[in-house]
A and B are shown apart, each in its own frame.
Chain A
Amino acid sequence: MAYLSQYQYYENGGTAPTNQNWGSYQYVSLEDIVNNFQLMYAGNHSLINNEERYKILFHAKRAIQELNYDAFKEIKALQLTVFDNLTFVLPSDYVNWVRISLYKDGWIRPLNENIQLNSAKAYLQGAGGTLTFDVDGNVITTASELDTDRINGNQKSIYLNKNNSDEQTSVNSDANWYAEYSIGARYGLNTETANANPTFRIDKKAGVINFDSTMLNESCILEYISDGMEGGNDSLITVNKLFEQYIYAAIKYELLNSKFNVQEYIISRARKDKSALLRNAKIRLSNIHPGKLLMNLRGDNKWIK
């Protein structure tokens, strides 16, 4: 990012949005990275020579993507209410989820991923199980019973929330009451499913999170990571300055590694350089402060009852 005056930084020079530049000094733009790399690491007297700019751009973006997947701690959060279809559409820049929570009564309650299936595709079947096809020869699909039951709240759950299979639901039949019981003996609680909060499963291909019916009309917070590509707008792509040197090293390594006739010791040097810089940057970004450790260690003499 360009160097800004205090006025530009705090109030964006009086232009809305005035908060646009807040915190921008932490970052270096993709434009700067590619420009600096071409100036400093590529040229007639450098290891990198006669390489197209689009290759440099590609490797710079790939390095930024990789950093976004694990090294950065830049977790995005999106809060939405789950409505009748019990789905939460994944954000447009979603790559992977970190945590999904229910926000209720002022509390953030982390949710568990259901280990059982809660959504399926179904084909429209006729008598005898025959399938029906449209004019293009594609099978006609319909809502699955699994989905319908889940949305209607009829799907049983192995978790401790609604419709738990351990609930003894009584049924009146022939003027007699019958109760459902679990088959077989139980030895304590199954800790894997011991959670009373709503559950979810992510249908990655469909791009949605499917919740059980207890999530109806509840507020959901999705914490997720993106790849830092800012919807394809090159001018908005930035990377934390702590990783700047790593990106140069990563581009250099990738270019040398894919180039014909480069000696192995040069590639090896570039690889080590890249790995060391990544490690350094991760340590720097981890922000291990003595103060934080002190807070944790203050409890070390507490009695465990």
Chain B
Amino acid sequence: MINSVRNTVLAILNKNNYGYISPSDFNLFAKQAQLDIFDEYFITYNNQINKENGRVSGTGYADAKKGTEEVIDYFSETSALTQSSNNVYFLPSEITTGYDYYLINKVLCYSGGLLKGEAEKVTHSKITMLNNSLLTKPSQTYPAYTQEAGLLTVYPETFNGVSDVKAQYIRYPKDPKWTYITISNGDPIFNQSLSDYQDFELPIEDENNLVARILQYAGISIREGDAYAFGKNIEQQENQES
């Protein structure tokens, strides 16, 4: 999809003689555009739930929430968390689990390889009281966790093994990269066989949206207001349709 998006963006820019964006600029704008759209999926998801609760949403093919869920689930990962010390574990990151996380959806606690329970996220303002509570103190069956500076602390402290904690989280999309080979007398030629090639991870339906957003970034970059306005216009039309 990335080549198609780039060709469309360049076609629009060239047709109107707005200018040209280099592959490296395109890759930067593509990353930014993808993150924008990715972020919007969560807002859309919430809006769709509100619509369902307002009884203005249907089922079957009219179930818009399902489609959004599918897109978000594409970015779902489940990984064991790397232990920092005792009951403290590193949050998912490129170094520990291979991906930075957008949000942690579920933390599972194991003991001796057996699943004991799903840990509940508790705020720092509550965890002390919770630990002192007779009835609701975190237990093996009902563990809890807090987050602090890239670390996740699990309660009770008996969860302290190397592989005691797993997380299901939503990762960020991989940075798109339009890769190419340079020929001596012309434009760069798209080559997706290079090792650092990375396509967009959003569904094909988002192609229009990606083009619109990249055009906006490109318009600002080349100081061409019309290009920005054109992109903005497409984006607004997309939003109205959804």
A-side interface residues toward B, CB under 8 Å?
Answer: 30-31, 34, 44-45, 52-55, 57-58, 61-62, 229, 232-235
Contacts and interface: CB of A to CB of B under 8 A. Distances in A.
Contacts of B134: 232
B120 A235 contact: no
B207 interface: no
A287 B235 CA distance: 68
Nearest to B121: A52
Contacts of B49: 44-45
21 contacts: A31-B141, A44-B49, A44-B52, A44-B53, A45-B49, A53-B142, A54-B120, A54-B133, A54-B142, A57-B135, A57-B136, A57-B142, A58-B136, A61-B136, A229-B135, A232-B134, A232-B137, A234-B140, A234-B141, A234-B142, A235-B140
Contacts of A234: 139-142
Contacts of A55: 136
Contacts of A31: 141
The bracket for how many chain B residues form the interface is 10 to 19
A55 to B, nearest CB: 8
Chain A binding surface SS class: helix
Interface string B118-138: 001010000000100111110
A200 B30 CA distance: 83
A94 to B, nearest CB: 16
B88 interface: no
Contacts, number: 42
Contacts of B136: 54-55, 57-58, 61
A58 B120 contact: no
Nearest to B116: A235
Contacts of B215: none
A34 B135 CA distance: 14
Interface in B23-76: 49, 52-53
Contacts of A235: 139-141
A58 B53 contact: no
Q: Which 7 A-B pairs have the closest CB atoms?
A: A234-B141, A54-B136, A53-B120, A234-B139, A44-B49, A61-B135, A58-B136
Interface string B183-216: 0000000000000000000000000000000000
Interface of B: 49, 52-53, 120, 122, 130, 133-137, 139-142, 144
A85 B137 CA distance: 37
Contact of B135 (A44, A52, A53, A58): A58
B146 to A, nearest CB: 13
Contacts of A44: 49, 52-53
Chain B CB within 10 A, most for which of A54, A55, A61, A232: A54
B52 A52 contact: no
B144 A45 contact: no
A282 B122 CA distance: 37
B134 to A, nearest CB: 7
A52 B141 contact: no
Contacts of A34: 142
Contacts of B141: 30-31, 234-235
Nearest to B138: A54
A54 B123 CA distance: 12
A52 to B, nearest CB: 7
Nearest to A62: B135
A192 B49 CA distance: 67
Contacts of A57: 135-136, 142
Contacts of B137: 232
Chain A CB within 10 A, most for which of B120, B140, B141: B141
Contact of A52 (B120, B139, B140): B120
A52 B53 contact: no
